[in-house]
Amino acid sequence: MPLTVSPSSLVDHSTPCYYYDIALLDATLKEVRKHGLDKGYHVHFALKANHEPYLLKKIRQAGLGADCVSGGEVQQALDNDFKPDQIAFAGVGKSDQEINLGLESSIFCFNVESLQELSVINEIAKKKQTKAPVALRLNPNIPVKTHKYIATGLNENKFGINDEELILVLEALPNLSCIEFLGIHFHIGSQINHLEPFIELAQKTNKYVEQIEAAGFTIKVLNMGGGYGINYIEPDAEPIPNFKAFFNVFDTHLNRRSDQEIHFELGRSIIAQSGSLISRVLFIKERSKKTFAIIDAGMTELIRPALYQATHQIERIDSHENTSNTYQNYDVVGPICESSDSFAQNYLLPVLQRGDLLAIRSAGAYGQVMKSNYNLRPDFPVIYSDKISDQP
């Protein structure tokens, strides 16, 4: 499924801009329903991947809940009509104000990352004469092959409660009268393209359930987090991630009881392939050993290549202006005053000229949300495929 935007609908559009393919998002959500929700799994969309109201509406209408990591995201979920009992609130450093917001909004669950956080939430709930619903975020020490900045499930990472701390937490829990213990939560990392770490996670979860229930607690909620990866190299070969294979891992390896709810927090796998950053070529700079294509989008619009050396497919959106089909290697770079402001090196593209439009693909997750106004860059427009005729 190549980019479904027609060049003529974009030629007059101001760039850079984000473009979302709504038909692809709908088709993706259908797969999540078929292989996840219809099997009784609860899926929360991770707002950190994207929090555009129009996209959130589609996602909520498909039956997903919200996974939030800040008071701002909890508020965004509420403002976009997610029901409080569909909202999970994770995060390694929740402020008192954010905890208050979660309690006052009666959210489904706080995913708690330390004994100290648990005590603070207990105290705040006591003052409000309420109980805080809590799942313990455990750090299962599972290695994943991903960029080191987005691996979260190892002992060396700041996230979660490790096995030694868990013993202390279980000792303390009975004395925390304003904590309602729901279960356990994990999130082992992001952009995980192999199923093995998820198999290991399911198997470790079974052991944690045994250990915690043997200590006298009942686990009602098992939250497996997110992290399922997408194909950045060839987005058209795999526009929708294989959700059947992903959920099958948990069908097969998790000892699931009928009195337990299984939750997931997927972000990237739901929205990444639906989004593209559209940019225009400003200048071509020829050097003896390379050619730069200087485009009007930069790390301020999509920071992933600069921050994680991430690869995004780049394609020329053909227009009548330039239909050349000879190819050349380019370093595709942005206008920001940093050498890290580069989208690709030695990247083969049809010969480019000033004014050509490029699509930087798979940018729907962690694209728009990570924008900045560095260099006093202005905000950019957003286009939805199903509303394109309404827009300038």
Q: Which residues bind ligand LLP (CB under 6 A)?
A: 46, 48-49, 67, 90, 150, 187, 190-191, 225-228, 265-269, 304, 308, 365-366
* Residue 62 DSSP class: T
Is residue 91 left, alpha or beta, with left meaning phi > 0 and alpha meaning psi from -120 to 50?
Answer: left
Q: What is the dihedral of CA 125, 115, 213, 127, to 10 degrees?
A: -10
* Comparison of 138 and 349: residue with beta carbon closer to ligand LLP: 138
* Comparison of 77 and 281: residue with beta carbon closer to ligand LLP: 77
* Comparison of 178 and 270: residue with beta carbon closer to ligand LLP: 270
We find the least distance from the C-beta atom of residue 243 to ligand LLP, in angstroms, to be: 12
> For 35, phi and psi rounded to 5 degrees?
-95, -15
Query: Which tokens hold the place of 231?
Result: 């194909």
* Comparison of 191 and 279: residue with beta carbon closer to ligand LLP: 191
Return the H-helix or E-strand segment holding 43. strand 42-46
We find the least distance from the C-beta atom of residue 333 to ligand LLP, in angstroms, to be: 19
We find the least distance from the C-beta atom of residue 247 to ligand LLP, in angstroms, to be: 14
We find the least distance from the C-beta atom of residue 90 to ligand LLP, in angstroms, to be: 4
* Comparison of 192 and 336: residue with beta carbon closer to ligand LLP: 192
* Comparison of 269 and 279: residue with beta carbon closer to ligand LLP: 269
We find the least distance from the C-beta atom of residue 232 to ligand LLP, in angstroms, to be: 10
As a whole number of Å, the end-to-end CA separation of the chain is 26
Give the whole-angstrom CA distance, residue 11 versus residue 9: 6
Task: Name which of 90, 92, 93, 94 is nearest 77 in CA terms.
Answer: 90
* Comparison of 130 and 193: residue with beta carbon closer to ligand LLP: 193
* Comparison of 16 and 241: residue with beta carbon closer to ligand LLP: 241
We find the least distance from the C-beta atom of residue 44 to ligand LLP, in angstroms, to be: 8
Q: Where are the alpha helices (DSSP H) in the chain?
A: 7-11, 22-35, 53-61, 71-79, 96-104, 115-127, 163-172, 196-214, 243-253, 268-271, 304-308
We find the least distance from the C-beta atom of residue 233 to ligand LLP, in angstroms, to be: 15
DSSP secondary structure string for all residues of 191-247:
SB--SHHHHHHHHHHHHHHHHHHHTT----EEE----B---SS-TTT-SS--HHHHH
Q: Is 128 exposed, middle or buried (0-12, 13-18, 19+ CB in 10 A)?
A: middle
User: Residue 137 in contact with residue 159, Cβ under 8 Å?
Assistant: yes
We find the least distance from the C-beta atom of residue 208 to ligand LLP, in angstroms, to be: 17
